Amino acid sequence: MPCWSSSEEAMTVGEAIRQNGISRSGLWARAVLWPVFILAMALGLACTLYIAETTWMQQKPWRVLTILSWAPYLMVAGMVVSYMDLRLPLAPVAARCALLAVMGVGGSAFGLASFFVTVFGHTSEAIALACALTVALAGLVALWVWVDRTYRAVDSLEY
């Protein structure tokens, strides 16, 4: 489901899903498969780097965690978007698009930061990255709770 033009900003997520003909089973499949896909990509990257440079990774084993640090952020952000699609039909599409933008910027920032921390390999940088990831994940969970409380529909509402 793409972000719509400014003329359709008043549209809700439920209306946009109906308009595009996306089925509930498709939404559920995306909600389940997105975290699995991100985790598989991260673990594949870590295994590839470990096989390519075994001694480099064994010198500082925490490098594996820094390589994987971007994955939890993208997984949680994807879960928030999927929750919005499945359970918050009254949420505005603009809020969903803003969340997708936050997901892209945050995922890119953590990916780039994890690359530099892994390459330069200082323990203090790894600790700072872990702290930043913790704060970002707490912020995503707080945003999730706020979005849920703000746009939750009546339980009997079906779309």
More confident residue, 58 or 113: 113
pLDDT bracket for residue 9 (50, 70, 90) = low
Q: Give residue 41's identity as a one-letter amino acid code.
A: M
For tokens 């704060």, the residue is: 135
Indicate left, alpha or beta for 4 from its phi (over 0: left) and psi (-120 to 50: alpha).
Answer: beta
Q: Mapping DSSP to helix (H, G, I), strand (E, B) and coil, where does residue 92 land? A: strand
CA-closest candidate to residue 76, choices 106, 98, 51: 106
State how far the alpha carbon of 130 is from the alpha carbons of 52, 67, 114, 133, in Å.
Answer: 25, 11, 10, 5
The segment with the largest mean pLDDT, out of 42-46, 85-89, 134-138, is 134-138
Query: CB of 18 within 8 A of CB of 159?
Result: yes
Q: What's residue 75's pLDDT?
A: 96
- Residue 52 domain-assigned (yes or no): yes
Q: Look up residue 61 and give its DSSP letter.
A: T
- Residue 158 domain-assigned (yes or no): no
What percentage of the chain has pLDDT greater than the value 70?
90
Check pLDDT > 60 for residue 157.
Answer: no
Q: Tokens for 97? A: 């698009």
- Residue 1 domain-assigned (yes or no): no
Q: Tokens for 85? A: 């699609």
- Residue 117 domain-assigned (yes or no): yes
35-49 residue pLDDT tens: 999 999 999 998 998
- Residue 123 domain-assigned (yes or no): yes
- Which residue range(s) make up the domain with 69? 12-151
Q: What's residue 156's pLDDT?
A: 47
CA 12 to chain centroid, in Å, comes to 21
More confident residue, 5 or 61: 61
Check pLDDT > 50 for residue 149.
Answer: yes
Judge residue 41's burial from the number of C-beta atoms within 10 Å of its C-beta, 0-12 exposed, 13-18 middle, 19 or more buried. middle
- Residue 2 domain-assigned (yes or no): no
Query: CB of 79 within 8 A of CB of 130?
Result: no
Count of domains forming the chain: 1
Q: Mapping DSSP to helix (H, G, I), strand (E, B) and coil, where does residue 12 land? A: strand
- Residue 126 domain-assigned (yes or no): yes
- Residue 134 domain-assigned (yes or no): yes
Phi then psi dihedrals of residue 86, to 5 deg = -85, -35
Calculate mean pLDDT across residues 32-36: 96
